[in-house]
Amino acid sequence: YIASLAQALIYCHGKHVIHRDIKPENLLVGVQ
């Protein structure tokens, strides 16, 4: 689960997503 969050963060950073816009709900949607 933690690995999935880490991959999601890496993906978001790769897409230049603003960090403050990264929320648990958004990460869960990305993982699923």
What is the enclosing helix (H) or strand (E) of 9? Answer: helix 2-14
Is residue 11 within 8 Å of residue 30, measured between CB atoms?
yes
The answer to whether 26 is annotated as binding is yes
12: which residues sit within 8 A by CB, 6+ positions away?
19, 22, 30
21 included as an active-site residue:
yes
Q: Of these residues, 16, 19, 21, 32, which one is catalytic?
A: 21
Residues with a catalytic annotation lie at 21
Q: Which residues are annotated as a binding site for ATP?
A: 25-26
Q: Which residues are annotated as a binding site?
A: 25-26
